[in-house]
Each structure stands twice: as C-alpha cells, then as structure tokens.
Amino acid sequence: MEISKKSQQAGNNSVNIQAEHVSINSGLTIAHVKEIANEIFESNFYKLTGLAKETADKRAREITDQFIQELAQKNPAGMQAADDPDFQHSLFTAQKEYARCGHKELGDILVDILVDRTKQEERSLLQIVLNESLSIAPKLNSEQLDILACRFNVCYTRRLNIQNIEMFADYLNNGILIFSDPINSKLSNYYHIEFVGCASIRTGKTNLVKILTKNYQAIFCKGYPQEAIKEIEDREPNISLVHIQSPHDSSLIQARGMNDDAIKKMCSDKGISEESVNQLIQINKKHLMNQQEVREFLGKISPRFPQFLVDATSSPFNNMELSSVGIAIAHAHSLKKAGFDADLSIWI
C-alpha cells in the first residue's frame, strides 16, 4: 500500500492522513491498525504449512492493505474500530475467507463491506447485517453475485440523477445489463442464493416493465398538447413552470418531474394546490406508453434489454425477494462492478 507523503495542517477534532500516520481521537495510526490486523490473522488462522501457509499469509496481507487504504480514503475516523472486539471478529472473517480463495472480486466486496462496518458504532440492524454479509458473501460465486446485483439495481433502486433518455439508456446498459448474463442460467444458482439466505423465491412474479415505468415516468410519457393543462393553468399560472418539451415529440409537453414524488415536490415549491397537482399527475399518467410501447422503446435505446426481459420472465429472477443480507452484498457488488455509490442505510 502506498499513500503519498504530504505535510498537512488541521484544526482541532480534524483528521490528518499521511503515509502510515492517521491522527484521530483514539490515537491509532495506519501502522498500528495494520499491526493489529496482522496479529489478528496470525493468531487465529489455521496452522497451515509450506506453500499453503505462504499463500494464505500473502492473501491476508493483500486484503488488509486494501482495506486500510480504502478506509483511510473513505472513513479515516473508522480506524478506531480496530480496538473493538466485534469489529476485530469481522476483520478476521474477511481475512480468513479471502486467504482461503484469493478471489479478487470477493476481496473487493469484503473490503467494501468492512469499510461500511467501521461506520457502525452501535449495535444496529445495519451492523448485524454487515457482519453476517462477511460470512455469506464467500458462499456465492460470480454468477450468483451478478444475479443479486441485477435484481437489486432494477427492482430496489431509483436513480435520482437521471435527467434524460441518454442517461436512462446508460443506466439500463451499465447498471442492469452489466449483471444480466447469468439471469437465465442454471436453476441451482437461484436455489443456492435462497439456501444461503440472500433471497426468497416467491410464487408471485414481478412486472419489471411496470417497475421501470413507475420509477421513470418522464422517460415513458409520450407528451400532451398545451391545451391539456389549460383548465389547471387558468387557476394556476405557475403550472407551466413544471413542464418541459416532450423528448418524444417537440410539439408536445410533459411534466418535468421523473415520477409522482418529483412532480409533487416541484409543484409544492411553486405554490400549486394539491388538487391541481393530483389533476396534473392524472394527465401525465393518461399519456404514458402502454406496456407494449414501453418494451419497444426499451429495445430501441438498449437493444439487449428485450432479451433480458425474456430471460427474467422465464427464470426465478422475477420471483426473487432479496433479504437484508442479499441487499448488502448486492450493494457492495454494484459499487465495485458498476460504480453505484449510495448509502446502504437507504435500504437497511
């Protein structure tokens, strides 16, 4: 691990990060935390011999260095967690599992979970879930991790930064389809995901098209003429301020908000009455694409997406309900593979 040496000045109660030195209230440094971490592994791991011991020790140092480097960047105050018995147990779990297999993808996920774990000082549900995730993630292979992340991204997230069709297409391709290859793979993948407690396979199926339409209404609104809001505009002149030109037809308009919640917020900020807001939402819904039109549109902006919908429908993917541990692991995998960075506490 290398952190560039730079002199720093900081005020009271602040954090300094330098090579091998992190000053925090507890007095712990990177060197001290690394020493604790190495001692934890050496004192608790199986007594191996020969090449196996050398390999395990090397892997343990790798994941320890990666963890400390990311912790120094993302949550330097979390160094003090090294003195906590429960966190030491979590750290050893990550070291042990990575030392056994050395799989880079698993190591990245374990490190991300560990960094999140340092942020949890109290015994909260999130702390319990993160601890459990460190034990469960090593029981999943790459295909199963992708299945979890794909389900998480399409059904459990709503990308608030999407502002146009191009950004939505990028979300489909790089937030969903990047994980979709194993969706229609062996049934045993789904049985195993359920067995380790990351998801339940329910009897009812999820309508993915409806989920996307609900979360991203502005993308699927065909637009309507100015006359459609004349009645509202006569009593609420500000209604025009929450409208934009339709991206599908420049002669039409549509509500600016991506979904009902966004429309309500915008209208509230403009002083528009609740009655008028509800009327606008109904006008907007009336001009949404139907399911067949949505499918055709998805195919135009993301040619692989229709096949994904077919694969999802013909597999247990559409019946999956993620557990808290499944969400935590999917969240970590999404961060590492797709760069999706959001606070896990949103879901747990």
- Which residues contact residue 278 at a Cβ distance below 8 angstroms, ignoring those fewer than 6 apart? none
Q: Categorize the per-residue pLDDT at 27 as very low, low, confident or very high, splitting at 50, 70 and 90.
A: low
CA angle (315, 321, 326) in 5-degree steps: 105
Return the SS3 of 199.
Answer: strand
Question: Among residues of the chain, what percentage have pLDDT more than 70?
Answer: 92
Q: CA-to-CA distance for 281 and 79, rounded, in angstroms?
A: 49
Token pair in block for residue 28: 């712990």
- DSSP state, residue 255: E
Q: In the prediction, which pLDDT does 254 show?
A: 96
At 295-338, the pLDDT tens digits run 999 999 999 999 999 999 999 999 999 999 999 999 999 999 99
At 218-269, the pLDDT tens digits run 999 999 999 999 999 999 999 999 999 999 999 999 999 999 999 999 999 9
- Which residues contact residue 7 at a Cβ distance below 8 angstroms, ignoring those fewer than 6 apart? 18
Q: Which helix (H) or strand (E) holds 315?
A: none
Return the SS3 of 221.
Answer: strand
**Domain residue limits, the chain:** 16-139, 143-214+292-346, 222-287
Average pLDDT over residues 44-65: 88
End-to-end Cα distance, the chain:
32
φ, ψ of residue 224 in degrees (nearest 5): -150, 160
* Pairing verdict, β 16-18 and 320-322: unpaired
Q: CA-to-CA distance for 344 and 116, rounded, in angstroms?
A: 8
Q: Which residue, 140, 129, 184, is CA-closest to 327?
A: 129
